[in-house]
């Protein structure tokens, strides 16, 4: 497989069903069992999933340094942040992805770091793992994340919720605000919503606001929310203007602002209630 075909395959992992991806890639006999396990990861309980994620990271590292190794390492990395599987698990995943990129460097994307380098940089910056990878694209990816965070610090927006009420981020000064990007079609988004609701009920009286933003049409969002016990504001961003302000290209993603309006925590994927509490703690809400 050429580098360009590989790039097209793994960039789409965050957006396209895995079955569609498999049609583009021919897996070896060593790789196919790993693919089968990756396809079933979301069905596993958390403790089993953490164990299997670590085991898969080791298995991928043992593969020859060929093109598909990057694809598998990237795929595993995108799944490894869908919950709370432990720092050791994420370190194993990051080590595997870094090794694969060292063995098979990827081309940039029109002057931007390839997605696999961005994924590794996010693991290091936001999940606090370590890597020894020395690569210009990885360095550029870290710089890109730093620049995006600076933009998010000063971002402002006004959107309407499902009831027609308008919300402006900067008007919520004095409150702890969690901005959550989600979608009805996104399994990790749906999984974290009950925990967000629990925390909203717990802390709303103390000035905690959740602004859950979807870029879907109201015709899709309203029926979904109506069938669930969600009381925090759900905002609509059908033209993705706010998503673009936040540089959000995948969901779920969450950003926490403290009472002074400072961005103090963010997640690159689904969070559990415990992880959300850690984020809120950085805003002084315990």
Task: Evaluate whether residue 286 is within a structural domain.
Answer: no
Residue 153 lies in a domain: no
63 lies in the same domain as 163: no
**Is residue 68 domain-resident?**
yes
Look at residue 74 and tell me if it is in a domain: yes
Whether pLDDT at 43 is above 80: yes
pLDDT above 70: residue 224: yes
**Mean pLDDT of the 199-223 span:** 98
Residue 7 and residue 141 in one domain: yes
> What's the pLDDT band for 227 if we cut at 50, 70, 90?
confident
* Same domain? 11 vs 137: yes
Q: Which residue has the higher pLDDT, 212 or 14?
A: 212
Q: Please indicate, yes or no, whether residues 124 and 57 belong to a single structural domain of this protein.
A: yes
**How many structural domains compose the chain?**
2
Name the domain boundary from 148, 172, 194: 148
Domain that holds residue 162: 158-281
* CATH code for position 261: 3.40.30.10
**Do residue 122 and residue 168 come from a single domain?**
no
Please state the three-class secondary structure of the chain as a single string.
CCHHHHHHHHHHHHCCCHHHHHCCCCCCCCHHHHHHHHHCHHHCCHHHHHHHHHHHHHHHHCCCCCHHHHHHHHHHHHHHCCCCCCHHHHHHHHHHHHHHHHHCCCCCECCECCHHHHHHHHHHHHHCCCCCCCCHHHHHHHHHHHHHHHHHHCCCCEEEECCCCEEEHHHHCCCEEEEEEECCCCHHHHHHHHHHHHHHHHHHHHCEEEEEEECCCHHHHHHHHHCCCCCCCEEECCCCHHHHHCCCCCCCEEEEECCCCCEEEEECCCCCHHHHHHHHHCCCCC
For 67-81, the pLDDT digits (tens) are 799 999 999 999 999
Residue burial 136-150, b: 16+ Cβ < 10 Å; e: rest: ebbebbbebbeeeee
- Cα–Cα distance, 91 to 131 (Å, whole number): 8
Contact 83, 47 (CB under 8 A): no
* pLDDT at residue 195, rounded to an integer: 98
Q: Are residues 213 and 235 in the same domain?
A: yes
* Nearest-angstrom CA–CA distance, 106 and 135: 10
- Domain shared by 42 and 143, yes or no: yes
Q: Are residues 216 and 171 in the same domain?
A: yes
């Amino acid at each position: 497989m050429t580098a360009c075909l590989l790039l097209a395959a793994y960039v789409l992992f965050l957006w396209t069903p895995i079955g569609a991806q498999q049609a583009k890639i021919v897996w070896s006999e060593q790789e196919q069992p790993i693919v089968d396990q990756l396809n079933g990861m979301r069905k596993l309980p958390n403790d089993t999933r953490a164990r299997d994620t670590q085991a898969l990271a080791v298995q991928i590292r043992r593969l020859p340094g060929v093109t598909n190794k990057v694809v598998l390492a990237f795929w595993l990395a995108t799944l490894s942040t869908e919950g709370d599987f432990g720092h050791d698990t994420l370190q194993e995943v990051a080590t595997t992805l870094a090794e694969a990129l060292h063995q098979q460097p990827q081309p940039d994307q029109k002057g931007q770091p390839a997605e696999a380098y961005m994924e590794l940089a996010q693991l290091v910056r936001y999940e606090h793992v370590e890597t020894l990878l020395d690569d210009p694209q990885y360095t550029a990816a870290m710089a890109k994340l730093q620049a995006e965070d600076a933009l998010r610090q000063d971002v402002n927006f006004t959107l309407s919720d499902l009831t027609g009420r308008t919300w402006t981020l900067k008007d919520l000064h004095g409150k702890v605000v969690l901005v959550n990007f989600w979608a009805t079609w996104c399994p990790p988004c749906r999984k974290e919503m009950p925990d967000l609701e629990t925390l909203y009920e717990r802390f709303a009286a103390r000035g905690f606001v959740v602004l859950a933003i979807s870029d879907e049409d109201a015709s899709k969002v309203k029926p979904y929310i109506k069938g669930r016990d969600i009381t925090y504001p759900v905002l609509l961003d059908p033209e993705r203007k706010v998503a673009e302000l936040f540089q959000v290209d995948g969901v779920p993603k969450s950003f926490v602002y403290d009472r002074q309006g400072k961005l103090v925590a963010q997640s690159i994927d689904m969070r559990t209630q415990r992880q959300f509490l850690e984020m809120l703690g950085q805003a002084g809400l315990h």
